[in-house]
Amino acid sequence: MSGKPAARITDLTACPIPGHGTNPLVSGSPDVFYDSLSAARLDDKSACGSPITHEVSSTVFVNGKPAAVLSSVGAHGNEVISGSGTVIIGK
């Protein structure tokens, strides 16, 4: 199977900035849900304040923004480390 698990609000990110550690995504789509959780997209933020900036889908868009997936990366260098067990998004 190709693709990666979709990222959602409450999925975890690992931030390399000292003191930030592991924290959840805290923003997402107001009207698109995976597994009853808001879909995460480019520019949605984690609890440490870092928006997702790259390694997002180039083919799937949510509210006009690229969908975030497992391994999407934020401005702090934080990486999404968990995602949906049922929704897989292609590159």
pLDDT in tens, 22-81: 999 999 999 999 999 999 999 999 999 999 999 999 999 999 999 999 999 999 999 999
The model carries a pTM of: 0.94
For 3, the token pair is: 């693709």
Q: C-alpha angle 86/65/42, rounded to 5°?
A: 80
Among 13, 33, 37, which Cα is nearest to 25's?
Answer: 13
Please give the residue range of the domain that contains residue 41.
Answer: 1-84
**Does some domain include residue 91?**
no
For 9, the token pair is: 């609000």
**Does some domain include residue 90?**
no
**Residue 58: which CATH number?**
2.60.200.60
Burial class (CB within 10 angstroms; exposed 0-12, middle 13-18, buried 19+) of 36: exposed
The whole-number pLDDT of residue 90 equals 84
